Copies of this chain bind each other. A is one copy, B any other.
Amino acid sequence: VTADLVILTIRDSVLTVLVIKRGNAPFRGAYALPGGFLRGDESLERTAARELAEETGLDAATLHLEQIGAYSAPDRDPRTPRVVTVAYLAIAPRVGAIAAGTDARSVEWMPVAKALSPEVALAFDHADILADAVERARAKLEHTTIATAFCAELFTIAELRAVYEAVWGHELDRPNFHRKVTLAEGFVVATDQKRQSRSGRPATLYRAGPATRLSPSMQRPRTDPRTRAPGSS
């Protein structure tokens, strides 16, 4: 049993995932998600947290870490005996360049769109895992306050909006977003500090509020179903 990690962050307004280049067979030379084997009597959560620290130097205690699910297709790993893996989603705040490459392995931040493209072709079933994790993150932005986990301790509403736009891949109305976020109870709390960008009015800095569930929830703009699948009946 292994634990694999989908570590997401926002870099240059793009949803990005941490991948490693495999040094060993199978899939030597291919990109893959970081992960490792369950040890002795630790839980899978602890395995995931340990791998997270090893790959990025981030402390799992301060991060959002959540299980995605178990993957067990018999052909997912050519090794024998077969390996069942449990995937975890970690959300890293956009703190400068995270130590990508703490240990000897080649570690790299890659835009999610690129990692899912056929040219990259992640090892094992890691493309499925990544897609599931991203979909989970998208869904959780609607109903929970985890979007703040992508931000530093202090952030502006524009930065928070950039998180939503990067994860959902969709532009949001700036004025309405501002209102919803600031009026949602316990989502963000204003500080008395401001941050000046190159030009324009300085933005108020906020920190994450105590709420975990969002109500009313954010509305993900729906990719109009009528334009995708003509109703079959």
> Which positions in A face B, CB cutoff 8 Å?
1, 38, 41-45, 67, 69-70, 72-74, 82, 84, 86, 185-186, 209-211, 213, 215, 222, 225, 231-233
Instruction: State whether B186 touches A210 (Cβ < 8 A).
Output: no
Is the CB–CB distance between B84 and A72 below 8 Å?
A: no
Contact of A44 among B44, B70, B231 (CB under 8 A): B70
Q: Which of B45, B73, B82, B222 contacts A72 (CB 8 A)?
A: B45
Q: Are B74 and A41 interface neighbours, CB within 8 A? A: yes
- Are B222 and A210 in contact, CB atoms less than 8 angstroms apart? no
Name the residue on B nearest A233 (C-beta).
Answer: B210
With a cutoff of 8 Å between Cβ atoms, the chain B residues found around residue A211 in the complex are 231
List of 7 A-B pairs having minimum Cβ-Cβ separation, nearest first: A44-B72, A41-B74, A210-B233, A70-B86, A70-B70, A43-B72, A210-B231
Residues of B within 8 A of A215 (CB): 222
In the bound complex, how far is the Cα of B82 from the Cα of A38, in angstroms?
11
- Which residues of the other chain, B, contact A41 by a CB distance below 8 angstroms? 74, 82
- Kindly state the separation between the CA atoms of A231 and B185 in the bound complex, as whole angstroms: 10
Q: Nearest chain B CB to A217's CB is how many angstroms away? A: 10
Q: Let me know if A70 and B69 touch, CB within 8 A.
A: yes
5 new A-B contacts, CB < 8 A, other than A41-B82, A185-B231, are A1-B84, A44-B72, A210-B231, A210-B233, A215-B222
Question: Which residue from B45, B82, B231 sits with its C-beta under 8 Å from A186?
Answer: B231
A84 and B231 form a contact (CB under 8 A): no
